Amino acid sequence: MNYIVLDMEWNQPYAPKCVDRAPFPLIGEIIQIGAVMLSDDSGRLEIIDEFKETIAPTYYTKLHRGVKKVTGLTQEEIACGRAFPEAIFDFRIWCGNPCVLLTWGRDDIPMLLDNLFVHNIDAKWITDCYDLQPIYNAQTDGLKQQRALSLAMEHFEIAQEEDRPAHDALNDAYYTALVCMKLDLQRGIAEYGSEGKFDLGGYFTHMQSSLYSGFESRQAALADPKIARVTCPVCGRCMPYPLWVKQSGSKKIALCHCDDHGDYMVRVQFFKGGGGILKACKTIYKATDEVKAYYDEKYEAFISRDPSLARGDEDGDKPRRRRRRHRGGRRKKAAAAAAEAPVLEPANE
């Protein structure tokens, strides 16, 4: 069995008002993934491989000064990083199947799930995750509190190596792996309490995600049956052509309906892959009332500006930018986003 010890660094918004809240608050954006692969095939845990990627953020592109200070990463380094969808596809392949993810602390896995979600990437491959802290606690002093990795290293007399400074995703994963090798991992996993389990459900129920590439333009992609044809994830029946609303930046959203299985949100996110090739991630997930309200508000904000488009009148004037009176919280952000980017295109044109 292979175990993946994972550590990540993430950027954060400069102020609470900068948090991207569509369709949930994104509190951090991953800018570095480091991982060490452990195998117990020889009867004891051994490091057999390493993985490291620096990632260019798409939501919080300006490196937060606090993150810069801790990680030593620079604006130039992250700007030259890979696109998250590409890096994570490579990571997933590198992890193999099945894979058990191990982290130090409880922050990395939810952050990974959130980032997968905002990039419309399937998360079903993440099935087994364990926080090593409670395993360390149970096998050392039995205390319950959170421990810094440095304390566990001290406990096991693991010295920091000169060429491996801390707060680098790979180096932290490496030190976590060294601590892990001092633990009885199989016993720790067997005794792992249900209260320590990560919630891997939530947003990902009924979610389907696919990656397509080779489109000439975003417009061509939206007209392509691979994107425009949306089938119900439960029964596979074709749902009526979606009306795409620009969500923000490179994302389009639409609501679809199956008579038997209810409403689904479809999201398409565009990004440039290697060689400048246009790629599109298409994701379908169950639309909750909140998600539907979010879509409706954007749609209505747009229609109120240019009712001709509600009737599919293509001769209407291009909608003008107009400030909207802000409302509270999530609705405010949704309305503001719609006001900034009033684009609505029938996908079948």
Give me the residues that bind Zn ion (CB under 5 A), please: 232, 234-235, 258, 260-261
Residue among 182 and 261 whose Cβ is closer to Zn ion: 261
Comparing every residue's Cβ against Zn ion, the nearest one is: 232
Question: Which of residues 140 and 231 has its CB atom nearest to Zn ion in the complex?
Answer: 231
Q: Is 327 helix (H, G, I), strand (E, B) or coil?
A: coil
**Smallest distance, Zn ion to C-beta of residue 237, A:** 5
CB of 284 vs Zn ion, minimal distance in Å: 11
76 or 259: whose CB is closer to Zn ion? 259
> From the CB of 230, what's the least distance to Zn ion, in Å?
11
Nearer Cβ to Zn ion, position 34 or 242? 242
SS3 201: coil
CA angle 49, 153, 131 (to 5 degrees): 65
Q: Which is nearer to Zn ion, 179 or 256 (CB)?
A: 256
For the bound state, the minimum distance from the C-beta of residue 259 to Zn ion, rounded and expressed in Å, comes to: 7
Least distance from C-beta 176 to Zn ion, angstroms?
Answer: 43
Using DSSP's 3-state secondary structure scheme, residue 31 falls into: strand
Q: Which is nearer to Zn ion, 98 or 262 (CB)?
A: 262
- The H or E element containing residue 38 is strand 29-39
Q: 11 near 58, Cβ under 8 Å?
A: no
CB 211 within 8 A of CB 269: no
Query: CB of residue 25 vs Zn ion: minimum separation in angstroms?
Result: 30
Contact 180, 172 (CB under 8 A): no
* Nearer of residues 80 and 235 to Zn ion, judged by Cβ: 235
Closest CB 235 distance from Zn ion, rounded Å: 3
Distance between CA 257 and CA 236 in Å, rounded?
A: 12
- Which of 118, 5, 131, 16 lies closest to 59, judged by CA? 118
Give the separation between CA 202 and CA 297, rounded to whole angstroms: 23
Going across the sheet that includes 208-213, the strands are 208-213, 278-286, 262-272, 251-258, 243-248, 344-346
Q: How many CB atoms lie within 10 A of CB 265?
A: 21
Closest CA to 273 of 124, 79, 84: 84
